[in-house]
Chains A and B, each alone.
Chain A
Amino acid sequence: MDDHYPVPSAFSLLNQVLDEYHKSFGETWRSAKEDPTLTTWPYLLEALNKFQDPAEADKLLKIQRELDETKIILHKTIDSLLERGEKLDSLVEKSSDLSMASQMSVASDSPVHSSSSDDLAAFLDDELETVEEVEIEEASSSKGECDHPGSFGNMCFVCGKKLEETGVSFRYIHKEMRLNQDEISRLRDSDMGFLQRQRKLYLVLDLDHTLLNSTILRDLKPEEEYLYSHTHSLQDVSGGSLFKMEFMHMMTKLRPFVHSFLKEASEMFVMYIYTMGDRPYARQMAKLLDPKGEYFGDRIISRDDGTVRHQKSLDVVLGQESAVLILDDTENAWPNHKDNLIVIERYHFFASSCRQFDHKYKSLSELKSDESEPDGALATVLKVLKQAHALFFENVDEDISNKDVRLMLKQVRKEILKGCKVVFSRVFPTKAKPEDHPLWKMAEDLGATCATEVDASVTHVVAMEMGTEKARWAVREKKFVVHRGWIDAANYLWKKQPEENFSLEQLKKQQGTEEE
């Protein structure tokens, strides 16, 4: 069997041959004895030859084949059409590029007609720079050289010239603001007239442990949980003193008397905030203390705005050093301005604050109590500030540029232990010179006279135990015997303290309870 020969064609071939046979021989096959067709029928031979190609037999197959061919031709045609289309696209792109290039070369001569304003901007820049140079030359020849008092965004804010970074950065005013030293001095001097007219000085206030105490919510001890129900609303902060700020994960307690303090101080001082917290913290605290912005304005200096890390300085305060007072709980934060500083007792409201300073005592929140308002640290400091201020502006018409508030402060301090003569017994290490000891210096600052030997004029003996010679002498001569806490207390409370509260028996009692 021939597999290549399609079956339908074979059958159609057979049918055709049969038909032909019928036509030529009719019914004679019935009676035939031998096969005549094989020799005498030429049609058969022809047919066999013709039908070697099956397509001849079966018309269907023929048409099918023709269709296939046509399809192939059509495919080829469409492919070539697509190719042509792509070629046309690339030609269009090339021509548009060429036209742009030609336009740009024209534009360099007449920018007004250019469609690309890249070059218009550049053209304007060039023209303006040449005009600027001419103008600056004229200006500088007529008005003199600009001395670049400061820069805003690295440009001199008087002449606009680009400057390298010089001077002091005043980030709390604007992050791009810098001022030259001369300009700072000029601003400070010109300020004096204003201060004179207003009868005001400058006061720089610390935040943490001075005006308020903050803690992270996570650090709250179980005994402090009750505070959650006592917090004041943040929408209207007046009248409140305990605030919870979820977005900062913090709780803040304002020191008692702080609102009255700020109100009264603002009448005598132009006030600054200077904190070691970051800027967002500083701004948030200012909102709590001064919701209307009337006390501090934009005078909020945070640690991001200071010039030296971990140190506070008056270099970014636009006021003469002779007219600035500082209120802070940490003396070491102000290495260069100890004379302007009033040290205040630390405000520990939260337990975390006590822990931070290694205090073994319970915090105010745990004891469910608070500093006394009329007798607290802020009230005391306010009195001192009033005294210093009064001394400064004593003579109404006097020119204040010669006065120094630091001297006023010293004067106020010297009143505290005036008239006392103090001898120290076994308080200082024997190797060191007693005059150099900070306690000696503190006593002298407070107005007391210090001596190393006892004599009739001595009023107080400072000792740490009763058995010393000087202590026994004092008891005999009916002089006061106190421990060093008496001097420290006078320093913090700005008032001479009753000596009975600082006797050595008291000290023993205290030490006894601590040991227990």
Chain B
Amino acid sequence: MFFHIVLERNMQLHPRFFGRNLRENLVSKLMKDVEGTCSGRHGFVVAITGIESIGKGLIRDGTGFVTFPIKYQCVVFRPFKGEILEAVVTLVNKMGFFAEAGPVQIFVSKHLIPDDMEFQAGDMPNYTTSDGSVKIQKECEVRLKIIGTRVDATEIFCVGTIKDDFLGVINDPAAG
């Protein structure tokens, strides 16, 4: 799920950036540092939408760096248990398949794929129903349900299932 929230961060700035463009430098440094990172609490920071306030800078003893507390608005993405997501399949093997929904990597194990789908090996490994009507292979879009999430500093991992109603392949670009 996406959220638009206000976060705060203390940014350290080297004195070489002081001057007319102090604010711009501060904001661009913030963007470089924060966009694309993850935290357990908020999830993946997708983009910064605006700066709410920049506090007074505090000069650090010993070095010449100045610390500014910045409050900024940003869009974050955090998957939750039980959430339904669409994802694109990236790898299929006999243990299940891997899919990606933006920065989030999701693994769906064979145990959580409907029993009527069998693994077919080959140069394009896939899961196919017994009548061949539904095929899950690389680059397919699937709708899946998240059953567990784990976040570390740079990535989010999820475990998903397609064994419930209304889950499974949405769109298969390889099919006619």
List A residues at the B interface (Cβ < 8 Å): 115-118, 120-121, 124-125, 128-129, 131-132, 149-150, 152-162, 173-174, 176-177, 179, 187, 190-191, 194, 198, 270, 292-294, 297-298, 318
Contacts and interface: CB of A to CB of B under 8 A. Distances in A.
Contact of B5 (A117, A158, A270): A117
B111 to A, nearest CB: 5
Mostly helix, strand, loop or mixed at chain A's interface? mixed
B81 A128 contact: yes
Interface stretch (B24-32, B92-100, B167-175): B92-100
Given A173-B95, A174-B107, A124 B5 contact: no
Given A160-B148, A174-B107, A153 B5 contact: no
B82 interface: yes
B159 A153 contact: yes
Contact of A187 (B3, B95, B98, B147): B95
12 contacts: A121-B41, A129-B81, A131-B82, A152-B109, A155-B157, A157-B109, A157-B159, A158-B111, A159-B148, A160-B147, A161-B148, A198-B121
Contact of A128 (B3, B82, B109): B82
A298 B93 contact: yes
Contacts of A124: 80
Given A121-B78, A191-B94, A318-B94, A153 B121 contact: no
Contact of A152 (B42, B123, B159): B159
A132 B81 contact: yes
B125 interface: yes
B107 A118 contact: no
Contacts of B41: 118, 121
B148 A156 contact: yes
**Chain B binding surface SS class:** strand
A125 to B, nearest CB: 8
Given A117-B3, A128-B82, A191-B94, A157 B107 contact: yes
Interface string B98-138: 10000001011101100000000101010000000000000
Contacts of B93: 173, 297-298
Given A177-B95, A297-B123, 16 more contacts: A115-B6, A117-B4, A118-B5, A118-B41, A121-B3, A125-B80, A154-B150, A155-B149, A160-B81, A160-B147, A162-B148, A162-B150, A174-B98, A177-B107, A298-B91, A318-B94
Nearest to B146: A160
Q: How large is the interface on B (under 10, 10 to 19, 20 to 34, 35 or more residues)?
A: 20 to 34
Contacts of B82: 128, 131-132
A108 B162 CA distance: 35
Interface in B1-54: 3-6, 41-43
B158 to A, nearest CB: 8
Nearest to B122: A294
A173 B94 CA distance: 11
10 closest A-B pairs by CB = A160-B148, A153-B157, A160-B147, A155-B148, A153-B150, A157-B109, A152-B107, A117-B5, A157-B159, A294-B123
B150 A157 contact: no
Contacts of B3: 117, 120-121
Contacts of A125: 80
A158 B94 contact: no
B125 A156 contact: no
Given A157-B112, A157-B159, A174-B98, A116 B147 contact: no
Q: Could you say which of A176, A270, A293 has the most chain B C-beta atoms within 10 Å of its C-beta?
A: A176
A252 B65 CA distance: 49
Contact of A155 (B42, B91, B98, B150): B150
Contacts of A132: 81-82
A191 B119 CA distance: 10
A140 to B, nearest CB: 13
A127 to B, nearest CB: 10
A155 B3 CA distance: 25
Nearest to B55: A93
Contact of A157 (B5, B94, B96, B121): B96
B123 A292 contact: yes
A156 B159 contact: yes
Contacts of A298: 91, 93
A121 B147 contact: no
B80 to A, nearest CB: 6
Nearest to A154: B150
A149 B96 CA distance: 13
A226 B93 CA distance: 44
B151 to A, nearest CB: 9
A152 B41 CA distance: 20
Nearest to A294: B123
Contacts of B94: 187, 190-191, 318
Contacts of A121: 3, 41-43, 78
B123 A176 contact: no
A297 B3 CA distance: 38
A435 B125 CA distance: 50
A155 B159 contact: yes
